[in-house]
Amino acid sequence: MKTQIKKLPKNQMEITIEVETSKIQVHLEKAASRLSSKSKIDGFRSGKAPYHIVKQKFGEGAILEESLNDIVSATYMETIGKEKLDPIDMPKIDVIKLAPGNPVIYKATISLLPKVTLGDIKKIKIEKKEAKVDEKKIDATLKQLAESKSFEKIVDRVAEDKDIVEVDMDMIQANVPVEGGVSKNHKIIIGEPYYIPGFDKNLIGLKKGDKKEFKVTFPKEHFNKNLAGKPVTCKIEVKNVYKRDIPKIDDEFAKTLGKFKNLEELKKQIKNNLFEEAKMKEGQRQEIEMLEKLVKESTIDELPQILIEEETRKMIGELEGNLANQGIKLDDYLSHLKKTGEDIKKEFLPQAEQRVKTALLIRQYASENKTKIDDKDLETEIEKMISHYPNDKEVQDQIKSENYKNYVRNTLLNQKVVQKLKKEIIK
């Protein structure tokens, strides 16, 4: 068997394989047997007709075509093993020569796992920042808790600061209705941050049944470029005015929220929660900075396109999942932004490349440091996940599948490597 190897851009490789006739015969025999099974040959049991009889009935060319997949599968895998290659996708096969009595010649184009050379970990320095809790955050959390316990009641008077005003609203820009700018029974809290600054102030002094037309200017950083920084005319009709009875933040209020003896205990718990949150965010910041610096310090061969495309698909899937949790469809989201799926792919490209490089580095570190996940640890994690779905056999079976187990093993390995890197780098 002869092979010629040609390197292509983006870590691809083209292998031309020539299979001599002596290696083809065994596959021809198997192919002939399959053909005789598919079509009955008089005088012979299914699949038992001699080769020369099958050849007479179907022709040597048909037998050769039937055997092609077997020939390619066997010789391709032999070549990959012999050349010690590490392909990351199925080969693209192009047949060059397929003729009876001649060697079979074909090309296999593959993408290879990029070579990774880890940078010097000792050169990476990460500044640790102390996790802190701002007292203002505690007060803001208390305020949010109190407002979540507020009681709303309709009042027959004009709207005042802190009231909730329910309106029917139409937005118009340059005499054209704004897409998504029509809203019925829309509630706005006067004095609370709103996506259009100043909108709420125009509601003060209005009562049920009042109508008003006014202009507001959208923020310059608004996601819709057609509206960002531009004036819009708003036509509103007040449907109701609500007064909010917000409980006083004191010891009695604290007791309504759990086993707190007084307000000080509640504040202490809030502070502890905020501190843990700040620690978690600081840990995430350190990890991101650490991995970004490790990518810069390391050398990675050119990334195959297939890896970038697969990571981009993952990111779009994550976006779609996050939107679904908010009751939003991806197509509606893109339409609202006036963007296409291709636009989003292009925007995701730099981040997708960074994520692929990070994954390759973690894989290389695990290989060099013999970091593995024990079967026992994997099974423990699988059992833990199954326990969340005690009555759903379908989900349990999915979790037990080999594909999902491999996903969990890879996730655990990534976590283990990141923790080992943090111990080495972040002192």
Query: So what's the pLDDT on residue 50?
Result: 86
- Distance of alpha carbon 278 from alpha carbon 272, whole angstroms: 10
Do 218 and 310 reside in the same domain of the chain?
Answer: no
Closest C-alpha among 149, 216, 208 to residue 178: 216
Q: Indicate whether 155 and 107 sit together in one domain.
A: no
The verdict on residue 412 lying in a domain is yes
β pairing state of 12-19 and 104-111: antiparallel
Residues 97 and 185 in one domain: no
Residue 293: predicted pLDDT? 94
Q: Are residues 165 and 105 in the same domain?
A: no
On whether both 108 and 21 belong to a single domain, the answer is: yes
Note whether residue 136 is domain-resident: no
- Cα angle value 163/169/175 (rounded, 5°): 140
Q: Answer with the one of 56, 91, 112 that is the final residue of a domain.
A: 112
The set of residues, in sequence order, having a beta carbon less than 8 Å from that of 164 and lying 6+ positions away, is 152, 187, 188, 189, 190, 241, 242, 244
The residue ranges of DSSP E strands in 246-339, in sequence order, are 299-300
Range of 364's domain?
Answer: 302-425
Please report the pLDDT score of residue 181 as a whole number: 84
Let me know if residue 144 belongs to a domain.
no
Q: Contacts for 127-135 with beta carbons within 8 Å, 24 or more apart?
A: 128/282, 128/286, 128/426, 128/427, 129/282, 129/285, 131/275, 131/278, 131/279, 131/281, 131/282, 132/278, 133/271, 133/274, 133/275, 133/278
User: What single string gives the DSSP state of each residue in 177-244?
Assistant: EPTT--EEEEEEETTS--SSTTTGGGGTT--TT-EEEEEEE--TT-S-TTTTT-EEEEEEEEEEEEEE
Q: Are 277 and 133 in contact (CB under 8 A)?
A: no
The confidence score (pLDDT) of residue 412 equals: 94
Contact (CB, 8 A) for 64 and 98: yes
Residue 165 contacts residue 190 (beta carbons within 8 Å): yes
Per-residue pLDDT, 86: 86
Identify the pLDDT of residue 193: 84
Claim to verify: residue 169 and residue 106 sit in the same structural domain: no
Per-residue model confidence (pLDDT) at position 128? 87
Question: Mapping DSSP to helix (H, G, I), strand (E, B) and coil, where does residue 353 land?
Answer: helix
Instruction: Quote the tokens at residue 139.
Output: 């007060």
Q: Three-class SS of residue 153?
A: strand
Do residue 78 and residue 159 come from a single domain? no
pLDDT, one tens digit per residue, over 179-223 is 778 889 999 999 988 888 999 999 999 999 999 999 999 988 887
Which residue type sits at 316? I
How many residues belong to the chain?
427
Q: What is the pLDDT of residue 189?
A: 93
What gap in Å lies between CA 313 and CA 230, rounded to an integer? Answer: 35
Query: For residue 426, what pLDDT is reported?
Result: 85
Q: How far apart are CA 230 and CA 220, in angstroms?
A: 8
* pLDDT at residue 331, as a whole number: 87
Residue with tokens 């990959």: 80
Point out the domain boundary residue: 245, 270, 285.
245
Low-confidence stretches of the chain (pLDDT beneath 70): none
Number of domains in the chain: 3
Residues 326 and 413 grouped into a single domain: yes
- Cα angle 407-410-415, degrees, rounded to a multiple of 5: 125
Give the pLDDT score at 349.
94
Cα-based distances in Å from 65 to 74, 206, 426: 15, 82, 60
Do 164 and 238 fall within a single domain? yes
Q: Please identify, among 112, 141, 159, the residue that sits at the C-terminal boundary of a domain.
A: 112
Taking the C-alpha atoms of residue 324 and residue 318, their distance in angstroms, rounded to an integer, is: 10
Placement of tokens 């598919």 in the chain: 38
Q: What is the pLDDT of residues 224-278, one digit of tens each?
A: 777 888 999 999 999 999 999 999 999 999 999 988 999 999 999 999 999 999 9
Task: Say if 146 falls within a structural domain.
Answer: no
Q: Are residues 31 and 107 in the same domain?
A: yes
SS3 3: strand
SS (H, E, C) 398-421: HHHCHHHHHHHHHHHHHHHHHHHH
